[in-house]
A and B are shown apart, each in its own frame.
Chain A
Amino acid sequence: MRRKIIAITSISLVTATIAFAGGHSGDPAVNARNAHMGLYSFNIGLLGDMAKGTIDYDASLASVAANNLAALAALDQSSYWTEGTEQGAAPGSRAKAEIWSDAAGWAEKMQMMEDGSAALAAVAGDGLDALRGGMGDAGAACGACHKAYRGPRN
Chain B
Amino acid sequence: MWGKVFRWCVFLGLIALGVFWFVTRPSTLPETALAGLNGTATQGEIIFTAAGCASCHSPADATGADKLVLAGGQRFPSEFGTFIAPNISPDAQHGIGGWTQLQFTNAVIKGVSPNGQHYFPAFPYTSYNKMSLQDAADLWAYMQTLPANATPSQPHEVAFPFNIRRNLGGWKFLFLNDEWILDASTPQLERGRYLVEALGHCAECHTPRNTLGGLDTTRWMQGAPDPSGKGRVPGITPANLGWVEADITEYLTSGFTPEFDTAGGHMVNVIENTALLRDQDREAIAAYLLNLPN
Contact = CB atoms under 8 A, between A and B. Distances in A.
B231 A87 contact: yes
Contacts of A78: none
Nearest to B60: A148
Question: Of residues B231, B264, B265, which shows the largest number of chain A Cβ atoms within 10 Å of its Cβ?
Answer: B264
B260 interface: yes
Given A87-B231, A143-B255, A152 B261 contact: no
Interface string A19-55: 0000000000000000001000110110010001000
Interface string B256-285: 100111111110110100000000000000
A41 B260 contact: yes
Contacts of A152: 226, 228, 230-234, 264-265
A150 B265 contact: yes
B268 A153 contact: no
Main SS of chain A's interface residues? Answer: helix
A146 B262 contact: yes
Given A48-B256, A146-B268, A87 B230 contact: yes
B93 interface: no
A51 B271 CA distance: 19
Nearest to A46: B260
A46 to B, nearest CB: 9
A87 B233 CA distance: 15
A152 B233 CA distance: 6
Interface string A103-119: 00100000000000000
Contacts of B260: 41-42, 44-45, 48
B265 to A, nearest CB: 6
Contacts of A148: 61
Contacts of B233: 152
A41 B259 contact: yes
B265 A154 contact: no
Contact of A147 (B234, B256, B264): B264
Interface string B236-256: 000000000000001000111
A57 B228 CA distance: 42
A51 B275 CA distance: 17
A143 B231 contact: no
Nearest to A41: B260
Contacts of A59: none
B37 to A, nearest CB: 36
A116 B225 CA distance: 34
A146 B61 CA distance: 13
Contact of A151 (B230, B256, B268): B230
A42 B259 CA distance: 8
B263 A143 contact: yes
A139 B262 contact: yes
A94 B255 CA distance: 18
Contacts of B261: 37, 41
Interface of A: 37, 41-42, 44-45, 48, 52, 87-88, 94, 105, 139, 142-144, 146-148, 150-154
29 contacts: A41-B259, A41-B261, A42-B260, A45-B259, A45-B260, A87-B231, A88-B230, A105-B61, A139-B256, A142-B262, A143-B255, A143-B262, A143-B263, A143-B268, A146-B264, A146-B265, A147-B263, A147-B264, A147-B265, A150-B265, A151-B231, A151-B265, A152-B228, A152-B230, A152-B231, A152-B234, A152-B264, A153-B232, A154-B232
Query: 3 closest A-B pairs (Cβ-Cβ)?
Result: A152-B231, A146-B264, A147-B268
Given A152-B230, A154-B231, 15 more contacts: A41-B259, A87-B231, A94-B264, A105-B61, A139-B262, A143-B264, A146-B262, A146-B264, A147-B269, A150-B265, A151-B226, A151-B230, A152-B228, A152-B264, A154-B232
